Amino acid sequence: MSKILDAIDYFSHAVHNNKVSTDQAAEFRNLIQEATRKLEQVEFKTGPDYLLLKWGTWKSWESKNKNIQELMKEHDSLGLSASAMMQKENDKQKELLCLVIDLIDGIIQNDWDGDYYTKAQAKEYILGYNS
């Protein structure tokens, strides 16, 4: 993975602030678009769980894991707003979501920007939101 990023950095530095011809610019952009298309077609095999985060809480989730289901049930029993935007997580709810995150075997994603989170990033997001 780092070899790909190193190659991108090398390319970026090579063309940054250097004048290229119209044809070269078109060729470079077409190569970048093709590489992006190929990367977007890569399929990642993960577990079946899914957690979508927004506004410092969960927006949607899916899991057949009984422990996750129980933690989410407990989280929700502590109070939910009609929308994720209005939800104000208390410390116990944040703790429960972090436990869920530890158990997730699948995708954790931020609804705002579509970014995928590691477990550490997801917990940092939950714990740091409106702190």
pLDDT tier for residue 5 given thresholds of 50, 70 and 90:
confident
Domain boundaries, the chain: 2-40, 49-128
DSSP 59-126: EEEE---HHHHHHHHHHHHT---SSGGG----HHHHHHHHHHHHH--EEEEETTT--B--HHHHHHHH
Question: Which residues neighbour 118 within 8 Å (Cβ) at sequence distance 6 or greater?
Answer: 108
* Better-scored residue on pLDDT, 43 or 109: 109
- The amino acid sitting at 47 is G
Give the three-state DSSP class for 34: helix
pLDDT digits (tens, 9 = 90+) for 51-101: 999 989 999 999 999 999 999 999 999 877 666 566 688 899 999 999 999
CA angle in degrees (0–180, nearest 5) for 99-104-108? 105
Give the three-state DSSP class for 58: strand
> How much is the pTM?
0.73
Picking from 106, 97, 103, the residue whose alpha carbon sits closest to that of residue 127 is 97
